[in-house]
Amino acid sequence: MSTHYLWRSRPQKAILTLALSGVGSWAVTSYFTRNAFADDGEPATAFPSKLGTSLRLESSESVNHNTKRLRFEFPNPTARSGLTLTSTVFIAAWPKGRWFPVIRPYTPVSSLNQRGSIDLMVKKYPNGKASTYLHSLTPGDSLYFLTPVSLGYRWTPNQYPHIILIAGGAGITPIYQLAQGILNNPEDKTTITLVFGVNSDADVLLRKEFKDFEQRFSGRFKAVYTVSNPTDGSPFQKGYVTKELLEEIGVRGEKKDTKVFVCGPPAMEKALVGARKQGGVLEQLGYRKDQIHVF
């Protein structure tokens, strides 16, 4: 079960799981992060191999009406995060008036090779305690980061010649992290099709970055956007991520060496992947369960 699904569907269990597995997962993560960049002698990770660390907010950038990009600086300006591809970090927010912190997972959108800082893209939700707190931070404020954990899938370069990335709304962050890690690895030749569904034009996050991917990796990366409520004259097509849209852009399950990654709102994931005994749109298109991973 993915970290994000666990958190959305069973928050109490997620907290208990984090508490019980913190030491073990931190040890595993520390092993991989310590060895991630051992060859060049650089600090392997900005996170300690204990329980967590407090990082200062370096900058806060408004991306749209409800999303900010927050950059937190490492004490060592040459350090990398040391996170592995397809991993997330837990943060502990302490809103005013609360006895206990609010713990939430966020997938960094900064490159794994970025030195000196780590970037989070945070969407503010109505009555969202953690997101409201994070949006209130100003440069110089500190935030406590807990253990990094895997998103349930460890990527192997060139394992698949082609992958499909399907994202909805804020679910774009783990999808972007994976695409970025693949394309920035000169040894990885995997080709990527991204399908990104949102509510409005303003919700098309990271469009500049995806456009850059299309220019730098022509023939390897393609992005398709669909907006349920586009503005007049919108450059995006209107609609949802449907079976018809996926068929139109050639997402079919005939090729058995293709992997599909999905991350989005629960209703979207259920429609695409299906319930426990009932298949969804992807199964109708010919994909097996083992060809699909939900972050």
Q: Structural domain tally of the chain?
A: 2
* CB-based contacts of 36, cutoff 8 Å, min separation 6: 44, 45, 80, 82, 84, 112
Where does a domain end: 150, 178, 212? 150
| 84 has pLDDT over 90 | no
Annotated binding site for FAD: 104-106, 123, 129, 131, 173
The answer to whether 148 and 89 are in contact (CB under 8 A) is: yes
Question: Is residue 91 included in any domain, yes or no?
Answer: yes
Checking if the pLDDT of 110 tops 80, the result is yes
Residues of the domain holding 140: 3-150
What SS3 state is found at 134?
helix
Is 90 within a domain?
A: yes
Burial of 94 (0-12, 13-18, 19+ CB in 10 A): middle
Per-residue pLDDT, 216? 95
Q: Please indicate, yes or no, if residue 155 is contained in any of the structural domains.
A: no
Please say if the pLDDT value at position 151 is more than 90.
no
The enclosing H or E element of 55 equals: strand 53-62
What is the average pLDDT score of the chain? 84
Looking at the structure, do residues 146 and 166 belong to the same domain, yes or no?
no
Task: Specify the pairing of strand 191-198 against strand 87-93.
Answer: unpaired
DSSP class per residue in 226-237: EESSPPTT-SSE
Whether residue 145 is found in the same domain as residue 184: no
Residue 210 has pLDDT above 50, yes or no: yes
Q: Are 268 and 241 spatial neighbours (Cβ–Cβ below 8 Å)?
A: yes
**Could you give the percent of the chain with pLDDT greater than 70?**
83
**Known binding positions:** 104-106, 123, 129, 131, 173
Helix or strand run (H / E) with residue 23: helix 11-36
Condensed to tens digits (0 to 9), the pLDDT of residues 220-260 reads 999 999 999 999 999 999 999 999 999 998 888 777 789 99
Q: Taking residues 89-111, what's their average pLDDT? A: 89
pLDDT band of residue 20 (cuts 50, 70, 90) is very low
> Tokens 């310590």 correspond to what residue?
34
Average pLDDT of span 139-149: 90
